[in-house]
């Protein structure tokens, strides 16, 4: 006997819930789990399995509650200077080496480069490495945020809203290079404009 569309809907609902549990980002987990719970609740009521429907409706309400808390919570962001020679900096870079190498594969320890930690609610959430091109231009070699904090808030706060200008006093322009289409889209969202000179670089006034 062929599986009817209601059964397929149930299978898909279960799959969405399963996918949600693979998310490392708590926000993505909550959103996908919310969709899956709503779907599975609907499935439960469709087959007259009221415990299934009520249970998953409750899960959906819990997801909504925690998403509200996440979006309404006031967060603290800051940047502090990092030392290339520090044990923690070396550990952080090596621990995240695979992802970092996709953006930037040569770490310089010369005085021309500066490194900063991104801090979010007193947690180290990423690093930025850059150098001065001239008296007014700062080139960002690496803008890396760990996966659990990769919800666009750090980039928007420091780069999108130009708060980095308070840290990089005297500089008027930021430049960087997109290493992928995804990275280029990210740069566009926080206000960088592509420089059409064949370098693949992007620029932003701060």
Alpha-carbon 40 to chain mean position: 28
Domain boundary pick from 72, 87, 113: 72
**Looking at the structure, do residues 111 and 142 belong to the same domain, yes or no?**
yes
**Looking at the structure, do residues 89 and 177 belong to the same domain, yes or no?**
yes
Tell me the pLDDT tens digit for each residue of 18-58.
999 998 778 889 999 999 999 999 999 999 999 999 999 99
Decide: residue 93, CB within 10 A, 0-12 exposed, 13-18 middle, 19+ buried: buried
Residue 70 and residue 37: Cα distance in Å, rounded? 19
Q: Which domain holds residue 29?
A: 5-72
Residue 133 and residue 113: Cα distance in Å, rounded? 10
Q: Are strands 173-177 and 193-194 parallel, antiparallel or unpaired?
A: unpaired
Domain boundary pick from 72, 89, 107: 72
**Looking at the structure, do residues 93 and 47 belong to the same domain, yes or no?**
no
**Looking at the structure, do residues 171 and 85 belong to the same domain, yes or no?**
yes
CATH number for 154: 3.40.630.30
Tell me the pLDDT tens digit for each residue of 89-131.
999 999 999 888 877 655 555 558 899 999 999 899 999 999 9
């Amino acid at each position: 006997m062929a599986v009817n569309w209601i059964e397929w809907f149930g299978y898909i609902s279960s799959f969405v819930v399963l996918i949600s549990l693979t998310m490392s980002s708590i926000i993505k987990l909550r959103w996908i789990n919310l969709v899956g719970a709503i779907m599975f609740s609907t499935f439960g009521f469709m087959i007259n399995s009221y415990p299934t429907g009520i249970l998953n409706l409750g899960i959906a309400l819990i997801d909504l509650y925690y998403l509200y808390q996440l979006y309404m919570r006031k967060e603290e962001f800051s940047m502090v200077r990092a030392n290339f020679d520090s044990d923690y900096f070396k550990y952080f870079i090596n621990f995240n080496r695979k992802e970092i190498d996709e953006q930037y594969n040569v770490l310089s320890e010369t005085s021309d480069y500066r490194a900063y930690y991104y801090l979010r609610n007193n947690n180290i959430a990423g690093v930025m490495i850059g150098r001065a091109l001239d008296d007014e231009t700062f080139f960002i070699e690496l803008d890396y945020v760990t996966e659990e904090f990769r919800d666009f808030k750090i980039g928007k706060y420091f780069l999108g809203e130009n708060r980095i200008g308070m840290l990089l006093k005297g500089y008027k322009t930021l430049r960087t290079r997109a290493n992928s289409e995804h990275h280029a889209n990210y740069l566009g969202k926080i206000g960088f404009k592509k420089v059409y000179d064949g370098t693949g670089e992007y620029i932003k006034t701060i």
